[in-house]
Amino acid sequence: MSTPSTDAALVSWRPRLTVRLRLTLSYALLLVIAGGVIGVIIYAVMRFVPNYPLTAANPRDQGPVVSRGEILDTVVRLTLYALALLAVIGMGAGWIIAGRMLRPLQEITAAARQASGGSLDHRISLGGPRDEFTDLSDTFDEMLARLEQSFTQYRRFAANASHELRTPHAVMKTMLEVAIADPDHQDVRVLAQRLHETNQRGIDIVEALLALASLGNRKVELEPLNLAAVARQVVEELQPEAAAAGVTFTALVEGSPVEGNKTLLHQLLVNLGQNAIRHNLPAGGTATLTVLPGGRLTVTNTGAMLDPAKVPTLTEPFARGGRLAKRPGQQGSHGLGLALVEAITTAHGGSLELTAQPAGGLAVAVQLRPAQA
């Protein structure tokens, strides 16, 4: 009685029937079948040859005359020889043809092996005529490019996140060590306030990271809503922060029905508003939130001169782009605001565009999906 281990061993010892070998056998079998059909047809035709003795047209030309039975025997024998020859030719030619046809697949397999080993910078770039293999190759190359980009962003994100999360803990550790070393010269109220601010910064970073992760792992429920109403609420909420920063925050809002999630769109507008306020001029700065019909909203602000080439990178997590540092007493930015804006926009099927303004500052344009009439 066989055991599962014995069965597994028998399976592992079975010969591997490769695609190339199967194609070769198929070509040879098809060629033999075609030859066999022709032989059968010839044999059937020869069955109708008259069975009387054949004589020469010229009575003087007398020689050995074969009968129909002898002719049929010869046809059968030669047909068998021909089928054997066709089988050999089919195997040889089929092996070569199958190898040439499967060569692109071997290149794709080699690239897949490299990718499975962690090498994502290899590209197949398969040439030749357009066929199913070149389509597969191009699709595989596109997949590798996206995977490489995703892994690069992931590694950069992980490095930045670890640094950002380590910083507040290191600051709190330093403050506590100083307080323990010299407790008599410490203002407990000031120390507690600093620890609270530093701890809150760590909490904000963690919450932003969780929000980014949740957006990528769940489907967003959309419903018809008026973007103008959400914008007015956000402007009202951010007015105290704008006044404390010396920034004039204004809104130009028109009715704009869209398909969206109210909570996420509120967060999107809050992030854009805070970004415009916190990355502004030290004094006399302005920020404007505009909502237009058709799901179009823009947020512009004055500020430092920005490098247009670096503006697209501001949506990367923890990217600040060399913008103005926070003022004394102002809450700092953890560099996840625009990354979360991009994630929310993508979840709504919208588009996001960042532009450096000629006079300094940033213009952010978001296009959302209008509500169906």
* Mean pLDDT score, 191-198: 81
312 Cβ contact partners less than 8 Å away, ≥ 6 residues apart? 354
Residue 63: which H helix or E strand, with range?
A: none
Amino acid found at 46: M
Q: How many helices and strands, by DSSP H and E, does the chain display?
A: 8, 7
- pTM score above 0.85: no
With beta carbons less than 8 A apart as the criterion, state whether 120 and 144 touch: yes
> What whole-number distance in Å separates Cα of residue 40 and Cα of residue 79?
9
pLDDT of residue 58: 63
pLDDT of residue 52: 58
Q: Which segment of 88-92, 231-235, 289-293 scores lowest on mean pLDDT?
A: 88-92
Among left, alpha and beta (phi > 0; psi -120 to 50; other), residue 118 is left
Reduced to 3 states (helix: H, G, I; strand: E, B; else coil), residue 260 is: strand
pLDDT at 15 over 80: no
Other Cβ atoms within 10 Å of 72 Cβ, number: 15
* pLDDT one-digit tens code per residue, 91-125: 888 888 888 887 888 788 888 888 777 777 778 77
Going by their DSSP bridges, the two strands 362-367 and 296-301 should be labelled as antiparallel
Residue 337: alpha-carbon gap to chain centroid = 23
- Residues paired with 351 in a beta bridge: 367
Nearest of 272, 283, 285, 263 to residue 352 by alpha carbon: 272
> What whole-number distance in Å separates Cα of residue 154 and Cα of residue 146?
12
- Residues paired with 356 in a beta bridge: 362
Among left, alpha and beta (phi > 0; psi -120 to 50; other), residue 128 is left
> What whole-number distance in Å separates Cα of residue 107 and Cα of residue 127?
11
DSSP symbol at 61? -
pLDDT at 163 over 80: no
* pLDDT one-digit tens code per residue, 31-60: 888 888 888 887 777 777 666 555 656 666
pLDDT at 353 over 90: yes
Give residue 296's pLDDT band: very low, low, confident or very high (50, 70, 90).
Answer: very high
Other Cβ atoms within 10 Å of 373 Cβ, number: 4
Mean of pLDDT over the chain: 79
Give residue 167's pLDDT band: very low, low, confident or very high (50, 70, 90).
Answer: low
